[in-house]
Amino acid sequence: MLGILLGIDTGLIQLIPGEDPVQVIEGPCFEIIDYQNQIAIGAAKEAGVWVYKNESWSQCWEGNPSSARIGPDGTLWVGTFDTRLYFSNDQGNTWNEMSGLQNVIKHRQISTPPNHKMPYITGVIFPKQGEIIGIAGGGAWHTRDKGENWLQRSDGLDKILYKIQEHPENSDILFASTESGFYKSDDSGFSWMHPNMGIGERSCTDFEVFPSKPDALLLVNQEQTDENFYSIYRSPNGGVTWTKINLGNNNIWERRPVITRLWNTSDTGFASVDGNIWASHDSGKNWISLATGLPKTYAITAAL
């Protein structure tokens, strides 16, 4: 059991509830972690990607990753800050570059995000056919032929895109976090809605989807104040309305919280902020304290 994985300044921590945390990787700051079906990956800027398989961690790719994810078929995907996308079908032993993406950057109207030298890959998601790539500065792009041809799917979507993800049970439904907030598509990205009742139009950095009828959603949002503090919001109705949640006695933080849904479940989630971990067993409605005194956390995932 991997338990809860936490990316920190100096590596990767494994936390089994009820036990002391164990540092499983010492080294760079891990800002991205993903898990699916006995495989985990962790990514660190300007260092590379590590993979967990056969009950051990090893570095499987060197470079400057901007995103990393495990696809539903077990393929590993790594996006970079120079707008390249790589994939591995053998758990990181060999890698191939997605073709044609550089032509999109060169010949289409792609802008450079603030505080960056060029557009970068923010993620890859998996509709019913092909892949959709998120580009910070370029929005969402779809390919059905492994990158030979690309179509933009950003109608109504803020192109300063931070995260993109498909619904866990219905790949026609897509979600995105952007500079201007949260977006949702019900038609595989052909059009996007911007539900913002209760959250405004400030930067949304992260979100999680708890599949139900209706879906419950969590997101990390910047507050509409000059200090740019962060809060966690919950929607019980698929993003129509939002309310701020409390962790203990707090609902606003100077440091950005990180959130995750327990893999392959519909109601269990975790949040980490200010050295504390909280757990919810009802899709983010109620929370209990799980651990305290931990280092600052940049990423979290869970596989219990």
Q: pLDDT digit string (tens) for 163-211?
A: 999 999 998 999 999 999 999 999 999 999 998 888 888 899 899 999 9
Q: Is the dihedral of CA 21, 253, 261, 96 positive or negative?
A: negative
Dihedrals phi, psi of 203, to nearest 5 degrees: -55, 130
Tell me the two tokens of residue 244.
């701020």
What pLDDT was estimated at residue 293? Answer: 95
Across-strand partners of 176? 164, 183
Q: pLDDT digit string (tens) for 128-154?
A: 889 999 999 999 999 999 899 999 999
The residue extents of the domains of the chain are: 56-292
pLDDT higher than 90, residue 264: no
Q: Which class does domain 56-292 fall in?
A: mainly beta
DSSP for 142-208 reads EESSTTSS-EE--TT--SSEEEEEE-SS-TT-EEEEETTEEEEESSTTSS-B---TTTTTS-EEEEE
Q: pLDDT digit string (tens) for 89-142?
A: 999 999 999 988 888 888 777 888 888 888 999 999 999 889 999 999 999 999
Cα–Cα distance measured from residue 8 to residue 5, given in angstroms and rounded to the nearest whole number: 10
30 vs 44, 107, 198, CA distance in Å? 5, 33, 31
Cα end-to-end distance, the chain, whole Å: 6
